[in-house]
A and B are shown apart, each in its own frame.
Chain A
Amino acid sequence: MSEIFGIPTQALFGQLLIGLINGSFYALLSLGLAVIFGMLNIINFTHGAQYMMGAFCAYFLLNKLGLGYWWALLLAPVIVGATGIVIERLMLARLYQLDHLYGLLLTFGLALVIQGLFRNEFGSSGLPYNIPKALEGGRNLGFMFLPNYRAWVVVASLVVCLATWFVIEKTRLGAYLRAATENPALVQAFGINVPRMITLTYGFGVGLAALAGVMAAPIYQVNPLMGADLIIVVFAVVVIGGMGSIMGSIVTGFALGVIEGLTKVFYPEASNTVIFIIMAIVLLVRPQGLFGQR
């Protein structure tokens, strides 16, 4: 069997694929962040907590209402998105005139409060959530055993990411959105309800986080702290990709998943720091991020 750096090529393929799967979570989450930052100029630190709420929402739908995974996939983003809209209307809307820092502090505080409340109620070891029947099992690809559920996660998140990119960059609605960020007064003058559009955009970004949460629930435990560590990594992804760049966040999400996966093979001890090393290098060489403008 041929080898690369002492690792059999077959094993390497497996690790690349695993990296891609993890990358799809980074991509989905960083996409939501990028949409919110690009359109609202808010650095949404509540994103990790909202991802966690998505997973909890799936858990409750199953255990209180008997609605399974597929319903959760549909309903959780709507429900959590609605809570996002409330937060935007009641709190964030008051901060648009101020420096970024205020939005960051508010959302960071909110994240701590939400996580604390969930932890108090449900403890820290998490709740079980099973893989839906239709996606149980897996197939042998020759170089690795690929669980069906993981294959589904990659495909689903790719579709959602590309659809979001398409809507924002290629449709009329997206054009309004982008115009509204550039010059809200002018767009308003054309008869478009800019505040409502902004509110819905925030709700949509939060919905993306909740969607990622539902997809994560069968893989990880449904845990109040599941978003707390992830959010830091995802922020690094957004910074590397370029704040607010939609395509940048998708591509870097997947790419960093792969890089992290490879680190887990060659030097696992560094696998949770490698992304921050890359972030530091990117900030030094290209402060606006790989895909950022300005």
Chain B
Amino acid sequence: MRFPKRTLMAAAIALAAGAAQAQVSDGVIKIGVMNDQSGTYADLAGPGSVVAARMAVEDFGAAKKGMKVEILVADHQNKPDIGSNIARQWYDVDKVDVIVDVPTSSVVLAVNEVTRQKNKALIVSTGATSDLTGKACSPNSIHWTYDTWSLANGTANAVVKTGGSTWFFLTADYAFGHALERDTEAVVLKNGGKVLGKVRHPFPSSDFSSFLLQAQSSKAKVIGLANAGADTTNAIKQGAEFGIVSGGQQFAGLLVFLTDVHALGLDKAQGLLLTEAFYWDLNDQTRAWSKRFAQGHKGAMPTMVQAGVYSAVLHYLKAVEALKSDEGPKVVAKMKEMPTDDPIFGKGQVRQDGRKIHPMYLFEVKKPSESKGAWDYYKVRATIPADQAFRPVKEGNCPLVK
């Protein structure tokens, strides 16, 4: 009696799978994780983002639902030309349906254009420039985890309100640094602060002593670091050497990741204010998810952008499932229509301009005495509610919502 029942079930599953597959192009949903696998941004996104994407596919239960999902990985080396070449190759030859992650704003902007031309889909987690939902917004793209506006809104607001009224910027000389500096400067000026000077350093740089000296002689109360990764950690480390903090000035790390704090050590990073969308130790859900992530990633806790890749891929797959199609702009539209819900950011939504909305957090880095051990680094200073955490749609000038 059992035999035919089983056969029937198998047949049903096969049929269901066949039905689902028939709708997606060439029967496979191909997700391309493109990021820096070997350079300065490899730890904060890199292989960890791939781990997160795989977890999303698994948790979505793609195999059980009969959906075939494949993950491809590429290293764009932080170079826009390499990034857009990979994107073309992926879309044209490898039939990739969606590209996710993509750090380095200059590369993101290039890949964004290629995605628009090829009419596919792009979900950005690590890339930061707020132009993605502003003048460069596209019906094919979603900006997932954070952006330069939300960072400035979190950190600069808090710093200016606690007396940091005069600023000097150390800015990475490419699209990301420029955008972060611009958005931060706007917040500083709006709150009645002043910008005394700025210096644009090559990306990546290892020696900041010359720039720090210029910042020191500007007598600004706050030195805003509009850079990321090793550039930020080196600037803070060398700032300690040049007595920046003991001389009465203060650093504002405008984009600091958990891995940066880990690399600096708490004695150098303590007291730093920073804005992030996610921290592993926020609630039971984030703790449980992060523990699973760490098991697959050499014990390292996830950064907000790695967690963001998980959340993004999960929502993408839900949209494909609901739509029964993986056609780029249609899936993106579906993703905007469906509310988001996952253990990373909780409930949220995607706005018409492509901005994913969720709360942001202002964290303070713990003192060594407050930390219980490795990865116990942040305490929450403030929660910025979802409706205030990101730039209002009107101010972005995104052509899609006009």
Give A residues with C-beta under 8 Å from B.
8, 11, 14-15, 18-19, 21-22, 116, 119, 123-128, 130-131, 137-138, 144-145, 147, 149-150, 219-221, 223, 225-226, 229-230, 261, 264-265, 268-269, 271-273
| CA A88 to CA B214, docked complex, whole Å | 45
Q: In the assembly, what is the distance between CA of A67 and CA of B207, in Å? A: 26
Q: Compute how far the CA of A261 lies from the CA of B38 in the bound complex, rounded to whole angstroms.
A: 28
Stretch at the interface among B23-31, B115-123, B125-133, B194-202: B194-202
- The yes or no answer to B211 lying at the interface (CB within 8 A) is yes
Contact A124 B201 (CB under 8 A): no
In contact, B206 and A149 (Cβ under 8 angstroms): no
- With an 8 Å Cβ cutoff, the count of chain B residues facing the other chain is 43
The reply to whether B260 and A268 contact each other, CB–CB distance below 8 Å, is: no
Q: Whose C-beta in chain B lies nearest to the C-beta of A218?
A: B241
Count A-B pairs with CB separation below 8 Å: 109
A38 to chain B, nearest CB (A): 28
Whether B207 contacts A22 by the Cβ 8 Å rule is yes
**Contact A261 B241, CB 8 Å, known A125-B262, A221-B230:** no
A126 pairs with B213, CB closer than 8 A: no
Contacts of A264 in B (CB 8 A): 201, 210-211
In this assembly, does B386 line the interface, its C-beta being within 8 Å of a C-beta of chain A?
Answer: no
A119-B42, A126-B263 are contacts. A147–B213 as well, Cβ < 8 Å?
A: no
Q: Could you mark each residue 248-284 of chain B with 1 if its beta carbon is under 8 Å from any beta carbon of chain A, else 0? A: 0000000000011011110110000000000000000
> Which residues of B are at the interface with A, using a C-beta cutoff of 8 A?
38-44, 46, 173, 199-202, 204-207, 209-211, 213-214, 216-217, 229-230, 233-234, 237-238, 241-243, 247, 259-260, 262-265, 267-268, 300
B40 touches A147 (CB 8 A): no
Contact between chains at A124 and B213 (CB < 8 Å): no
The answer to whether B259 touches A226, judged by C-beta atoms less than 8 angstroms apart, is no
Q: Could you pull out 5 A-B pairs where Cβ atoms are within 8 angstroms? A: A14-B217, A123-B43, A145-B243, A265-B210, A268-B211
Q: Is the CB of A128 within 8 A of B264?
A: yes
In whole angstroms, how far apart are the Cα atoms of A127 and B204 in the complex?
Answer: 18
A271–B237 Cα distance when bound, in Å, is 21
Which of A116, A125, A145, A149 makes the CB contact (< 8 A) with B260?
A125
Contact (Cβ within 8 A) A14 B213? yes
Residue of A nearest to B44 (CB): A125
Nearest residue in B to A219 (C-beta to C-beta)? B238
- Residues on B with C-beta less than 8 A from A22 are 207, 209
Q: Contact: A11 with B241, CB < 8 Å?
A: no
Q: How far is the CB of B76 from chain A (nearest CB, A)?
A: 14
The distance from the CB of B230 to the nearest CB of chain A, in whole angstroms, is 6
| A146 shortest CB reach to chain B, Å | 9
Given contacts A119-B38, A145-B247, A268-B199, contact A124 B210 (CB under 8 A): no
One of A18, A124, A147, A226 near B43 (C-beta < 8 A): A124
